[in-house]
């Protein structure tokens, strides 16, 4: 089927929107008419190869929400016409060891998250497009996705909210609820206050954490952090972060920390600002070769300090997303405040550039009618 897709002709920042051929959905695949695909910073890193290099044209877009257009012969979860969001993480099989231990994202039965693989898109010059993120490439009018990545979207939840829930939000919010599990009154520090970090702050606030310390080098993000519930902000360009956190926490460091960004030394700093009895959760990552914490001395763990990681908020997809939709409905989480600027698919380059300049979460609207409906033009 002929569709429109935003692709990077070669690994890098430049993206073009062009007509391509989309394969028919495989037996377990669903073809989605994409309504919105919000931008996650991973989309930019994936296209530029910062997470891992790839050959040929690439396409990203993994916060997808839309309407089921067609299904493969073995799909049972959805039918054409259903509203869905599509996540990178899988719902899992529900009966393997990983699924039984609440780790469906590592399910051993359902095919794994795969990055830098051939997508279902072919350029009209015959080149097969590489999927730079996992699962699907959603900056397109239509895309195929594995049914195990889908969650039904309730009728009253707008598509853009479904998109925002599909990765960035759950990665931060879920990491707090499913990994940190803080108790009311415990302190929390969030390092890196983009979409993931701000969602973590929402989670920490919902759990009753105090103080909630937001750490970022961009003032615009620190201002946003206050709106989402941070009680203190620290700009590492201005002060020594570890000293500043200790000054706020009676000299101990925080009970919980979450690092939502990549960068040299940032994980070490996060470790240092975490109390000896505290726990640090690693969410943000860069290229595998840059993500070492080799200077940690084993003695530093004798106090019981813990370091753990979280992928996609450690969510159980079809258990947690419906909860998040309910929290949104009840006004407990403010996803709308995360959404920054809206762009039609044809202007995706502007949307990506704007995200790189610091927009929290830009909405790419892939359906022209929906764009007119929401943006009035």
Residue 369: CB minimum distance to Zn ion, A: 26
Nearer to Zn ion, 116 or 246 (CB): 116
Nearer to Zn ion, 279 or 340 (CB): 340
Nearer to Zn ion, 96 or 226 (CB): 96
CA distance 109 to 275: 39
Nearer to Zn ion, 98 or 349 (CB): 98
Alpha helices in 28-77 (DSSP H): 41-48
Contacts with Zn ion by CB under 5 A lie at 40, 42, 92-93, 96, 99, 107, 109, 167
For residue 144, list its beta bridge partners. 31
Residue 138: CB minimum distance to Zn ion, A: 11
Residue 196: CB minimum distance to Zn ion, A: 8
Residue 169: CB minimum distance to Zn ion, A: 10
130: tokens are 């590489």
32: tokens are 């989605």
Nearer to Zn ion, 275 or 311 (CB): 311
Alpha helices in the chain (DSSP H): 41-48, 97-100, 159-164, 170-174, 195-206, 219-228, 241-248, 266-272, 317-329, 348-356, 368-375
Burial 332-344 (b: 16+ CB within 10 A, else e): ebebeebbbebbb
CA distance 74 to 229: 45
Residue 307: CB minimum distance to Zn ion, A: 22
């Amino acid at each position: 089927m002929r569709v429109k897709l935003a692709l990077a002709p070669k690994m890098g920042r430049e993206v073009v929107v062009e007509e391509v051929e989309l394969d028919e959905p495989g037996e377990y695949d669903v073809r989605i008419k994409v309504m919105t695909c919000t931008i996650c910073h991973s989309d930019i890193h994936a296209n530029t190869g910062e997470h891992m290099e790839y050959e040929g044209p690439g396409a990203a877009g993994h916060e997808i929400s839309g309407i089921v257009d067609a299904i493969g012969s073995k799909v049972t979860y959805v039918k054409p016409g259903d509203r869905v969001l599509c996540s990178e993480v899988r719902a899992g099989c529900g009966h393997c060891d990983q699924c039984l231990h609440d780790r469906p994202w590592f399910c051993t039965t359902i095919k794994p998250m795969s990055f830098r693989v051939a997508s279902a898109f072919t350029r009209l010059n015959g080149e097969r497009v590489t999927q730079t993120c996992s699962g699907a490439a959603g900056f397109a009018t239509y895309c195929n996705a594995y049914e195990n990545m889908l969650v039904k979207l309730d009728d009253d939840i707008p598509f853009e909210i479904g998109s925002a829930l599909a990765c960035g939000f759950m990665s931060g919010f879920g990491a707090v609820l499913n990994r940190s599990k803080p108790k009311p009154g415990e302190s929390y520090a969030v390092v890196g206050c983009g979409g993931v970090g701000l969602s973590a702050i929402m989670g920490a606030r919902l759990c009753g954490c105090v103080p909630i310390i937001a750490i970022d080098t961009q003032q615009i993000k620190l201002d946003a952090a206050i709106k989402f519930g941070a009680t203190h902000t620290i700009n590492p360009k201005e002060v020594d972060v570890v000293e500043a956190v200790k000054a706020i926490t009676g000299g101990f460091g925080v009970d919980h920390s979450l690092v939502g960004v990549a960068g040299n030394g940032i994980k070490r700093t996060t470790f240092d600002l975490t109390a000896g009895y505290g726990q640090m959760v690693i969410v943000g990552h860069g290229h595998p070769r840059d993500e070492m914490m080799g200077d940690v001395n084993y003695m530093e763990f004798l106090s019981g300090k813990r370091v753990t990681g979280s992928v996609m908020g450690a969510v159980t997809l079809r258990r947690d997303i419906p909860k998040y939709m309910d929290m949104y409905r009840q006004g407990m989480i403010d996803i709308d405040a995360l959404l920054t600027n809206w762009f039609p698919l044809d202007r995706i380059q502007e949307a990506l550039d704007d995200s790189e300049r610091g927009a929290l979460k830009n909405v790419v609207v892939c359906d022209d009618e929906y764009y007119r409906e929401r943006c009035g033009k």
